[in-house]
Amino acid sequence: MSSRFFARGSSSEEDETETESEEYSTTEETESESETESSSEEEEEKSGVNRFLVSDSDSDSDLEDARRVVRSAKDKRVEELTHIVEEIRNKMKINDWVGISSNFDKLNKQLDKIKRSGALTKTPKIYVKALIEMEDFLTAALGNKEARKTMSKSNAKALNSMRQNLKKNNKEYEAEIKSRREAPEESDSYSDDSESDSDSYESGSEGEGEEEGFEKVKTKGEKKKVPFIEMDPKDISYGMIMKKCQELIMARGRKGTDKHEQAKTMEFMVRVSKTESQRAQMMMNLVSAYFDMTTGLHTHLPIPIWNRCCMIILDLLNQLEKYPYISVDDAYEQDYSEEQEGPTEGDAVTIAGNLLGCLERLDDEWFKSLQVIDPHTEDYMNRLKDEPVILAVAQKVSKYFAKAGAEPVVARISLRQVEHFYYKTEAVYNAMKALVEIKKKEASESAPAEEEETNPAAAAAKATPVGDEEDVPPVELPSDFTMEEDVFKLMKDLVHYIYKNADERTKARAMLCDIYHKSIHNDFYTARDLLLMSHLQEAVHNMDIATQLLFNRTMAQIGLCAFRKGLIQDAHYCLSELYGSGRIREILAQGVALRYHDRTPEQEKLEKRRQMPFHMHINLELLEAVNLICAMLLETIYLVNINQMETKRRVSKSFWRLVDHYDKLTFMGPPENVRDHVMTGTYALSQGDWAKCSEVISALTVWNLLPQKVEVLEMLTTKVKEQALKIYLTIYGPHYSSIAVEQLCKMFEVGENTVQSIVSRLIISEDIHGSWHQPTQTIVMRSSNNNTTKLQKLALRCVSSAQVLVESNEKALALRTGSLREREDGGGKGKNRGDWEGKDGRQGRGRKWAPQGGKVLGYRDRKGGRGDRQGKGGKGHHQHHHRSHGHQDVAYSSFQRRKEAPREMATLSKRGGRN
């Protein structure tokens, strides 16, 4: 009771805003009345409600109907009347005669309206009461001379005119006023009491005013007929059902409407409906009644109701299939007038309703429930098993619309279907297929039992009423639901259909799903090409958040896919961008990060709604491991090679942060989590100790998540060996005068060819100073430091200092003038660069890991900064190579560019020197 009381209390605030448009239902009045009336006796209260409900539903008699329509219209007007009266009372309290007189005019106008509509036989009590009050107040005001003197001019004027008006007006209602004054009802005293609290007063008095008339209706109804729901189906006509149905629809969404009761009545109506089309219509309405049972935006539909709803939709679809002359249209206005006779069987009939909406709602509710249910419980599993049902519904709806030729709608449904499939690997899909088979078998076994009830309505009737929600059987799969043999073909068909028929957003989403699906099936190149050629990377910033999240998830999957394929650079590119944001959980929609200050509770709620259910999660540990390992393989070399450090940018911020962090630790314990493992591996690698590195990395448990664990680990070991070899030669190379290939092969357990290829690359890129001695198969190292004299060393240092000096001069000037550097570049060496960059932006065709791309959820854009830094790094030492780098910028990814450019510059300059 108390909760209900509060509910009323809070909602009464809305009253004032809503009253204008909303009609008051009888139930509500009852409630408001009972609320003010009794506060202790719950029992009585309940019975009161029930009584009213019964009367409400049984009022559906021929005679009553006509009046009831009027009543509801009248209600509205009376409501307004009450409102104005209330206003007048308020004005009286503050002695505002101007307000009173204007409101008085309004009051009269309203009364006229009511009278004109012919709905009123006698003057409303509330009006009379208001007149009396005003009269009293007026005489009091006139009597109080002191107060009149202090009144403002306009106020006094209004008072005078009011006096005349009221006098004139009251003459008309003299009799009523008199009778009322003589026999003041209880309500008066009551209203006096509560005058201080205008809100409750209003509702109280109003409830009372209405009650009388309503009581009458009720008693009449009780005498004449049984409640609608208990009526004999034979007595119900087509029109009656329509009538009743409309009533329910009108009551929908209003405060105090008992949704369960509504659904129950609807269920009954489905059972008693007269024609097939009417049954379909009733089912449609029933579905929306079920959907109404959600309590809020953030909670999901209770599962039993969901099941029931699903069942009805399936029945409805069967109905539509069986009787093809029935068509559904969401813009159609159903004629609910009572007099009509049902259309003859077989005629084309349209019913109002939105099948697509139903499907989407069903799907959304399912999704929402998964967000909420604890993923480690049986419930979650059971819920997941409902997925085929949705798919079955989707399939049927899609079939229906395909027949109607509504391509965009079918495309939308296809997207829904795609969104159910894209994250499923082949194995999962097959498992689901098996489940469907089992379910179908079960369904066919239980079918004979129901056979006698061929009527779908009877089946619906058999379902337990909404009241007890405990044991609702899970929905049975329709027997004609089929799943495509091959998930790839299925995806292909759906996606291609969408590409052909859908709008941009649907297409983009379908594309992302397609890419995602391809990546989890190791089809990296196709996935990448799709992504790059569709230019989603550039466009994704302008899309809605859900799509951006999907984009991020897709990027993560492509990264994982590239990693499994051994494409470390690509993997790193995809993942580092995601990890660069530092909010990996959020941008993958797999958990809400701790509170940020800049978020309101609404935003937080919204974010919660976007979360992915557990079964769609991408394992974050695996993702982190892959990201860090990629970074390790690519960047450990810069950890040891100080020369390169200067010119290089640290690409993977997360990796370097970690390195810095672990550097500060005094002791390093045995590795526990992913980061520990990778860092231990990194230290081993930086010593050239591949065995330890690979051992530590392989010890990670996350690899068990990969189906191709063995291959991946093998690939990793090979990569680690190669890197270790490189690092070893870079660090220890200068200490050798010559190394035999054989020895290296033994040390790193790699083939001769690999050693040769790696060493050759190092020699070409001048990372080690040495060359092959072919006849003996050894590398002859030539240490540059030993031969230089002290003077030479000093000279070198002097030169580099001079260079620094010039450079800082240039920088200083650039700061003053703005863009000396650019202009100079533009004039001479670097002109191409600017041009190309421009084209890069505009053209944007073809494949690139677009450097602009990947930023998500509106985090800052780095592009400008990156270009700048590039320019500076390149220019300082090797001006004359600028042009070629400009070229390179365009055609290849920013990442590769970063990786390769400096080394290449070194080579070029050396070669240049030689020539």
Partner 1 sequence: MADQDATRWDITSKIAGNLDRHLVFPLLEFLQTRGIYPEEDIMNSKIELLKDTNMVDFAMDIYRQNNGTEEVPVEMTERRKVVIGNLTQLQETAAPIVDFLLDENKVKDLRNDKAYNIKMLQDQYNISQDDIEVLFKFAKFQFECGNYSACADFLVQYRGLCTKLEKSFSALWGKFASEILLQNWNEALEDLNKIQEYIDSKSFTSALAQLQQRIWLIHWSLFVFFNHENGMNFLVDMLVQDRYVNAIQTGAPHMLRYLAAAVIINKKRRNILKELIKLIKSEKYIYSDPVTEFIICLFVDYDFEGAQKKLKECEAVLANDYFLTACVDDFVENARLFIFETYCRIHETIDMKMLANKLNMDQESAEKWIANLIRNARLNAKIDSQQGTVVMGSQHPGVYEQIVEKTKSLTARTYHLANAVIGSGKVNS
Of 828 and 865, nearer to partner 1 (C-beta) is: 828
Quote the CA–CA distance of 889 and 851 in Å, as a whole number: 10
Q: Report, in Å, the least distance between residue 681 CB and partner 1.
A: 26
Q: Tell me which of 525, 660, 701, 737 binds partner 1, using CB under 8 A.
A: 525
Q: Is residue 603 at the binding interface for partner 1, with CB under 8 A as the rule?
A: no
Contact residues for 130 (Cβ-Cβ < 8 A; gap 6+): 85, 88, 89, 107
Neighbours of 724 (CB within 10 A): 25
Is residue 879 part of the contact set for partner 1 (CB under 8 A)? yes
785 touching partner 1, by CB under 8 A: no
Can residue 797 be called a binding residue for partner 1 (CB under 8 A)?
A: no
| CB of 464 or CB of 809, closer to partner 1 | 809
Closest distance to partner 1 from the beta carbon of 751 (Å) = 11
Stretch that binds partner 1, among 80-88, 125-133, 305-313, 750-758 (CB under 8 A): 750-758
Among the listed residues 12, 11, 69, 1, the one whose alpha carbon sits nearest the alpha carbon of residue 35: 1
Q: Does 346 bind partner 1 (CB under 8 A)?
A: no
Cα–Cα dist 865/241, whole Å = 70
Minimum CB distance to partner 1 smaller for 53 or for 532: 532
Number of CB atoms found within 10 A of residue 520's CB: 21
- Return d(Cα 59, Cα 217) in angstroms, integer: 7
Amino acid 159 reads: L
Q: Is 499 an interacting residue with respect to partner 1 (CB under 8 A)?
A: no
* Angle between helical axes of 2-18 and 198-224 (0-180°, round to 10): 100
Nearer to partner 1 among residue 600 and residue 774 (C-beta): 774
Alpha-carbon gap, residue 272 to 335, rounded angstroms: 18
372 binds partner 1 (CB under 8 A): no
**Listed ranges 112-120, 308-316, 695-703, 753-761: which one lies at the site for partner 1 (CB under 8 A):** 753-761
Asked whether the beta carbons of 36 and 91 are under 8 A apart, the reply is no
840 binds partner 1 (CB under 8 A): yes
* Unique residue bearing structure tokens 């309500």: 187
Q: Does 496 bind partner 1 (CB under 8 A)?
A: no
Interface pick for partner 1 out of 69, 795, 815, 857 (rule CB under 8 A): 795
Secondary-structure percent of the chain, ordered helix, strand, coil, rounded to 5 = 75, 0, 25
Name the minimum Å distance from CB 888 to partner 1: 7
Binds partner 1 (CB under 8 A): choice among 292, 867, 884, 903: 884
**Contact criterion met (CB below 8 Å) for 777 and 742:** yes
* Smallest separation (angstroms) from partner 1 to the CB of 899: 11
Q: Does 801 bind partner 1 (CB under 8 A)?
A: no
Q: With binding defined as CB under 8 A, does residue 792 bind partner 1?
A: yes
Helix (H) or strand (E) holding 329: strand 326-329
Number of CB atoms found within 10 A of residue 867's CB: 16
- Six-digit token string for 631: 């970074």
Which amino acid, 356? L
Please state the three-class secondary structure of 749-817 as a single string. Answer: CCCHHHHHHHHHHHHHCCCCCEEEEHHHCEEEECCHHHHCCHHHHHHHHHHHHHHHHHHHHHHHHHHHH
Terminal-to-terminal C-alpha distance of the chain: 96
**Residue 910 interacting with partner 1 (CB under 8 A):** yes
> Closest distance between partner 1 and the C-beta of residue 880, in Å?
8
Decide whether 147 or 533 has the Cβ nearer to partner 1.
533
Instruction: Compute how many residues bind partner 1; rule: CB under 8 A.
Output: 56
* 533 is a site residue for partner 1 (CB under 8 A): yes
Min separation Cβ 742 and partner 1, Å: 17
Instruction: Kindly state whether residue 444 participates in binding partner 1, applying the rule CB under 8 A.
Output: no
In the bound state with partner 1, the residue whose beta carbon lies nearer, of 223 and 914, is 914
- Asked if 773 interacts with partner 1 (CB under 8 A), we say yes
Instruction: Using alpha carbons, select from 698, 569, 727, 755 the residue that is nearest to residue 636.
Output: 727
Length of the chain in terms of residues written = 915
Smallest separation (angstroms) from partner 1 to the CB of 744: 15
Of residues 420, 465, 558, 508, the one with CA closest to residue 271: 465
Are the beta carbons of 353 and 281 closer than 8 angstroms? yes
Cβ 914 to partner 1, closest distance in Å?
6
The residues near 133 (Cβ < 8 Å, ≥ 6 apart) are 88, 89, 92
Find the part of the chain contacting partner 1 (CB under 8 A) among 260-268, 322-330, 438-446, 843-851.
Answer: 843-851
> Does 809 interact with partner 1 (rule: CB under 8 A)?
yes
Q: What are phi and psi of 352, to 5 degrees?
A: -85, 140
Return the range that interacts with partner 1 (CB under 8 A); candidates 186-194, 290-298, 662-670, 905-913.
905-913
Q: How far apart are CA 578 and CA 627, in angstroms?
A: 9
Q: Tokens 């320019």 sit at which residue?
A: 871
How many angstroms separate the CA atoms of 260 and 899, rounded?
Answer: 65
Q: Which long-range contacts (CB under 8 A, 24 or more apart) does 329-333 make?
A: 329/353, 330/354, 330/356, 330/357
Residue type, 832: N
DSSP state of 330: T
890 binds partner 1 (CB under 8 A): yes
Q: Looking at 839, 841, 857, 861, which residue binds partner 1 (CB under 8 A)?
A: 839
* 803 makes contact with partner 1 (CB under 8 A): yes
* 765 near partner 1 (CB under 8 A): no
* From candidates 441, 610, 782, 869, binder to partner 1 by CB under 8 A: 782
Q: Which of 163, 252, 609, 769 binds partner 1 (CB under 8 A)?
A: 769
Select the span of 25-33, 360-368, 545-553, 844-852 touching partner 1 (CB under 8 A): 844-852
Q: Which of 273, 200, 242 is nearest to 37 (CA)?
A: 200
Residue among 802, 815, 841, 865 that touches partner 1 (CB under 8 A): 802
Per CB under 8 A, the list member of 799, 815, 841, 861 interacting with partner 1 is 799
Query: Of the listed pieces 271-279, 606-614, 713-721, 766-774, which binds partner 1 according to CB under 8 A?
Result: 766-774
Site string for partner 1, 847-876 (x = CB under 8 A): x-----------------------------
Q: Does 788 bind partner 1 (CB under 8 A)?
A: yes
Nearer to partner 1, 547 or 896 (CB): 896
When asked if residue 479 is in the footprint of partner 1 (CB under 8 A), the reply is no
Which residue's CB is nearer to partner 1, number 165 or number 888? 888
Q: Is 891 in the site for partner 1 (CB under 8 A)?
A: yes
743 near partner 1, judged by CB under 8 A:
no
Asked whether 676 and 660 are in contact (CB, 8 A), the reply is no
- Gap between the Cα atoms of 492 and 373, Å rounded: 32
Please name the residue ranges forming H helices in 342-455: 355-372, 378-384, 387-404, 407-421, 426-450
Q: Please tell me whether residue 332 binds partner 1 under the rule CB under 8 A.
A: no
**Residues forming beta bridges with residue 771, ordered by sequence position:** 780
Q: How far is CA 212 from CA 30, 76, 125, 203, 216, in A?
A: 11, 17, 11, 15, 7
Residue from 761, 857, 861, 869 binding partner 1 (CB under 8 A): 761
Give yes or no for residue 790 binding partner 1 (CB under 8 A).
Answer: no
593 binds partner 1 (CB under 8 A): no
Residue linked to tokens 């978020």: 599
Query: Which residues form the interface with partner 1 (CB under 8 A)?
Result: 525, 533, 753, 756-757, 760-761, 763-764, 769, 771-775, 780, 782, 784, 788, 792, 795-796, 799-800, 802-803, 806, 809-810, 813, 817, 820, 824, 836, 839-840, 843, 845-847, 877, 879-880, 884, 887-888, 890-892, 896, 904, 909-910, 912-914
